[in-house]
Amino acid sequence: MKKVILFFFIQIISVSLFSNPILESLVYKIRDPDTDKKEFREYLEKIGEYVAIDVAKDLNTKKQNIETVMQVKAEHNFVDEEIVLVTILRAGLPLFNGVFKVFPEAEAGFFAMQRNEKTLKASVDYVALPPIDNKTVIIADTMLATGGSMLDAIKIVEKRNPKKIILISAIAAQEGIDNILKHNPDIEIYPAYVDPILNEVGYIVPGLGDAGDRCYGNKITVSH
Ligand code: PRP
Ligand code: URA
């Protein structure tokens, strides 16, 4: 396991790249156009689990003792933070499910957003959040492209006084990471992989295409 601290603007900022060949083999699978929807969701869920385990090692812990059958005490570290897991529909859902397996006691929140394919701006259609005051909020979304969707979610979360905000993504574009950290350098970002390019229509390159469609199929435009 290797933690790479990336340097931005001559400042150490918390982007944690959990470099691991098992995780990379899962990223390879979700990039593969032949991976079907069911497999795609399953691989994303695994990625969520692995990255969440990496996140856990950086959380506050408390010690707990257990007396074994040998009548000797063993001491272990447990996560000592109140966690709220949040995701952005649709594509964030399988990744979120994987993170939830690692933090099953967490409360959960949901955002529904639509990205306008021309302006690349997301509109927030639905927000369901538990109280997040002084809690650690982990936002899991599969793709961090321009960062626009995450930023909309972050701004809503920030107004409600969280202790800290952590982002998990499967693939993040460098530009999206930079946009988030420009907004708030205290946010901790855990991408499973960072891609270099964002094309003119806001897709990550090499990326994996439209993550929502890869999970659930094409969507139609419904005006309401
Ligand atoms: C994807 C992804 C993010 C967003 C990232 O969702 O799950 O929410 O794009 O792009 P951004 O960083 O440029 O905002 P998408 O808009 O494709 O919606 P979907 O999940 O419903 O398909
Ligand atoms: N949303 C996606 O689903 N894929 C991208 O590459 C960018 C945004």
Q: Which of 104, 108, 52 is nearest to 84 (CA)?
A: 108
CB 198 within 8 A of CB 176: yes
Token look-up 């701004």 returns: 155
pLDDT band at 12 (very low <50, low <70, confident <90, very high): very low
pLDDT on residue 1:
37
Atom of ligand 1 nearest to the CA of 142: 7
CA–CA dist 108, 84 (Å, integer): 5
pLDDT digit string, tens, across residues 122-151: 789 999 999 999 999 999 999 999 999 999
- The reported pLDDT for the residue numbered 173 is 97
pLDDT band at 184 (very low <50, low <70, confident <90, very high): very high
Residue 38: its pLDDT value, please? 98
Q: Does the Cβ of 55 fall within 6 Å of ligand 2? A: no
User: How far does residue 184's CA lie from ligand 1's centre (Å)?
Assistant: 20
Share of the chain above pLDDT 90, in %: 83
- Candidates 191, 182, 190, 180; CA nearest to 157 is 180
> Ligand 2: distance of its center to the CA of 216 in Å?
14
The answer to whether the predicted template modeling score (pTM) of the entire model surpasses 0.75 is yes
Q: Report DSSP state, residue 78.
A: E
Cis, bond preceding 214 (omega within 30 deg of 0): no
How does 161-194 read in b/e, with b if 16+ C-beta sit within 10 Å? Answer: ebebbbbbbbbbbbbbbebbbeeeeebbbbbbbb
pLDDT in tens, 75-102: 999 999 999 999 999 999 999 999 999 9
What contacts 164, CB < 8 A, 6 or more positions away?
A: 136, 137, 186, 188
Spans of all domains in the chain: 2-60+80-216
CATH of 2-60+80-216, one of 3.40.1440.10, 3.20.20.140, 3.40.50.2020, 3.90.1300.10: 3.40.50.2020
